[in-house]
Each structure stands twice: as structure tokens, then as C-alpha cells.
Amino acid sequence: MARKTLKLLMSFQNPKQILFAIFKWILICVLIGILSGSASAFFLVALEWVTQYRIHHDWIIWLLPFGGLLVGLSYYYWGESVVKGNNLLLEEYENPQKVIPFKMAPLVLLGTLLTHLFGGSAGREGTAVQMGGAIADQFTKLFKLDNSERKILIILGISAGFASVFGTPLAGAIFALEVLYFSKINLKSTILSFLVAYAAYFTVEFWQVKHTHYSIPVVPDFTFINLIYVIIIGILSGFAALLFSRSTHFWGSLFSKIKYPPLRPFIGGIILAIAIAGLGFTKFSGLGVPVIVDSFSNANAWYDFLLKILFTGFTLGAGFKGGEVTPLFFVGATLGSALSLIIPLPIALLAGLGFVAVFSGATHTPIACIIMGMELFGIQPGIFIAIACTIAYFSSGSVGIYKSQIVKGAKYKLYQKWL
């Protein structure tokens, strides 16, 4: 890496070229950070508004089929080129073809807000990452960048979107690199990923948009028996991540048999409306942040995490828009919370470990999840977080939530050898 960086520096004919290149990329990072951060800030405010409206007017859930039809029609007639969402970003990074259309940003924003307004079970990370990626890739033409430089832009877009929507700049920067499995990543990409993550994070702070805060007030000593407990949590979190990924892909494949795409979220919306509003499963609609927060102090039912997997997989598989990460937090936190009934560790610690471990297993990004855990919960439970995320990563199977993600590294070699 150092040799490549030196070679790059030597390729410039004079110091002016070096200074110009540095200035250019700093400018790009600042612009992407401000634009993506502002987009995420608006998205978070709008998302909170539609969520509160749904909570106080829960009859609107019965209109979920029509919300789904709107989402389906918008993508069928105007967004066919961007319907792959996060997978399109991963594909364009691995094999650059053409600039991602800017319309990805408003389409996914509108689709996600409609999904949450009418009560679908979805997240928000996918929306922020897609907005960030679409915004970032527009700089390809503006600065006349080649394909290798386009790859950096995609990293920057993912980093800015993730960091700004969750308020975790360190994790956002690492996630953007790790979700691509450090494929063809260099020192330049790494530095710029951190720079844009902080630019986006501080932009959201500037707009005074607040993030949810979690805490683990009591952390026990690191003993052998506690190590065993954490390993068990990691394994179960990995299995939950595996089930989540398989569920999403299963429902997506099943709904793909409906030949007219706009009908998929319409039909799915009918079933969801009956289940959520008719049968009283409203706690599983939307992000579920109140349930996540409550799980840090009160034990959940053992089946809550399973129902969230079912509702989220069905919602996204039917063609509604949103992300998977916050539902993964829900799954992990409620799983850990339920385990407090049989595992003698503090409930907040168990919920926090599940929170990041399930995410680790489903996205194949253990390093980012470890860092996120420390950003959210502090350094003190760091050793527990690191073990749980690593175990979940290795026990979650070879397929994650992103179909186009290429699995490499130690996990890939392990599965190649034993499976």
C-alpha cells in the first residue's frame, strides 16, 4: 500500500499537481458530506414526522396496499434502472459501468417515507446509503473522474450516508470499506472515507437533528463463565442474522413470481395491513425504535425477534423501500433482552451485544460493528462487543442481506474449506 502511494505521488510532475489533487479530493469530500448529511437530516426529520403521524392515526395502516402501489408504480415507470438499491452500489463498485442516476435519491426517499407512513416494517440505512451513493456519483462527470476514481466516490457515498443517518462516523467510514471487503481499497480511499464520514456527521449536527442514544450502565468483569455466555450470544445472533437474510431473499424470490412489479407491494400491503392493523402487531411496524430502547431495561418475549424478522423480510421482499439495519438492531436487541431470562448478565449488556452482533452477521462487517458498538455504548463493554460480533460473523452463513456483496477474507476461506 505504501509503495502504491509513493508511486502515485511520483506520477505527479510537480508539487502543484499534488496540491491540486489534495484540494480536489478534500473539496469533493466536503461537498458530498454536506449534501449527503443534509439529505439524511431532512430524511430523519421527515421520517420522524410520518412515524408520529402513523402512531397517532393508526387507521392509516389500512392504506398500506395503496402506499405500496405508489412505491411499485414509481419504480416501475421511473426507477427501473435503480430498483436494485444498495446492490447497485456494490455492483457498480466491483464492475463500473455507468454513473448511478441521481433519481435514485428522491425515489428511495419517497418510497421509504411512504413505507413508514403506512406502517411497513423497514429501516433507514438503505435510504441514506443510496442517497449518499447517488449524490456522490454525480461528481464523476463534474470532475471528469475515471472508473478507479468512481470507486472512491461510491465508498464516499456509502460512508457519508451511513455515518450521517446513525451518528457514528467511525463506524460509517469502516462500514463503507468493509462492506466491499476491502477490495482494491488503498490508503487514499481510507483517509477520504473518514473525512467524508465526519463531514456528513457534523452536517447533521449542524442541522440539530438528534440521534437515539443507548447506554449499558453496568458491565460485569470479564471472566471465563461470562466469556461462555458471550459466545452463546454471538452464535445465536449469527443464527438470527442468517434467518433474517434468508427470509428477505425468500420473500423477494416469492414475490418476483408476480409478473407485474407494482402489484407486488400492493398484494403484500394487503397481507401486512391485515396482520399489523387487524391482528394487532403494530409494534412491528416502522423502525421499532421505542421497542429497541425498551429492550435495554425490560425483557422481551422470546418470539419478538422472530416476528420482526418475518415482518421485515415480508415488507422488503414485497417491494417496499427502506433499510435492513435498524430492523436488525430490533432483532438483536430483543433477542438479547429475551435471553436475560436465562443468561445471568445485565439486560442492557445482552441487548447491546445482540444489537451489534446480529448486524455483524447479516452484513459481514464485524470491524464496523465492533466500532459502532463502542461509539454507541462506550469503551467499557468493548471486549464483550468484539467477541460477540466476531462469533456472529462466523456463525451467520455465507449469504448476507446484500446479494451483490462479494464474500472474501477469513470467513470465505473457512466456508470454502469446510462446506
Helix axes 125-137, 325-339, angle to 10 degrees: 150
Torsion of CA 331, 334, 338, 339, to 10 degrees: 60
Cα-based distances in Å from 230 to 274, 294, 379, 392: 38, 21, 17, 10
- Give me 353's grid cell: 451485544
Residues 409, 298: Cα–Cα separation, whole Å: 38
Q: What is the mean pLDDT of the chain?
A: 92
CATH fold, domain 8-206, is Clc chloride channel (1.10.3080)
CB distance 263 to 319 below 8 Å: no
Q: Along the 419 residues of the chain, how does pLDDT read in single tens digits? A: 555 555 555 555 577 788 888 999 999 999 999 999 999 999 999 999 999 999 999 999 999 999 999 999 999 999 999 999 999 999 999 888 899 999 999 999 999 999 999 999 999 999 999 999 999 999 999 999 998 899 999 999 999 999 999 999 999 999 999 988 655 567 888 999 999 999 999 999 999 999 999 999 999 999 999 999 999 999 999 999 999 999 999 999 999 999 999 999 999 999 999 999 999 999 999 999 999 999 999 999 999 999 999 999 999 999 999 999 999 999 999 999 999 999 999 999 999 999 999 999 999 999 999 999 999 999 999 999 999 999 999 999 888 898 877 665 555 555 545 44
Q: What is the residue type of 204? A: V
pLDDT tens-place string over residues 44-61: 999 999 999 999 999 999
14: left (phi over 0), alpha (psi -120 to 50) or beta: beta
Write the DSSP symbol of residue 123: -
* CB burial string 52-83: b at 16+ within 10 A, e below: eebeeeeebbbbbbbbbbbbbbbbbeebeebb
CA-atom Rg of the chain in angstroms? 21
Calculate the CA 198 to chain-centre distance: 17
Cα-based distances in Å from 101 to 80, 88, 135, 137, 341: 11, 11, 9, 8, 49
Calculate the CA 417 to chain-centre distance: 29
Q: What is the pLDDT of residue 418?
A: 47
- Give me 173's grid cell: 467510514
- Give me 12's grid cell: 505527479
Residues 272, 406: Cα–Cα separation, whole Å: 32
- Give me 114's grid cell: 411512504
Q: Which CATH number fits domain 224-418: 3.40.228.10, 3.65.10.10, 1.10.3080.10, 3.40.50.2300?
A: 1.10.3080.10
Residues 37, 49: Cα–Cα separation, whole Å: 18
Residues 3, 321: Cα–Cα separation, whole Å: 43
CB distance 199 to 33 below 8 Å: yes
* Region(s) of the chain under CATH 1.10.3080.10: 8-206, 224-418
pLDDT tens-place string over residues 296-342: 999 999 999 999 999 999 999 999 999 999 999 999 999 999 999 99
* CB burial string 22-34: b at 16+ within 10 A, e below: eeebeebbebbbb
338: left (phi over 0), alpha (psi -120 to 50) or beta: alpha
Using a 10 angstrom Cβ sphere, with 0-12 exposed, 13-18 middle and 19 or more buried, the burial of residue 404 is middle
Give backbone dihedrals phi and psi of 154, rounded to 5 degrees, phi first. -65, -40
pLDDT tens-place string over residues 387-403: 999 999 999 988 889 88
Query: Any long-range contacts for 93-100 (C-beta under 8 Å, 24+ apart)?
Result: 93/151, 93/154, 93/155, 93/180, 93/183, 94/180, 94/183, 94/404, 94/406, 96/147, 96/150, 96/151, 99/137, 99/138, 99/140, 99/141, 99/150, 100/133, 100/134, 100/137
Give backbone dihedrals phi and psi of 300, rounded to 5 degrees, phi first. -90, 160
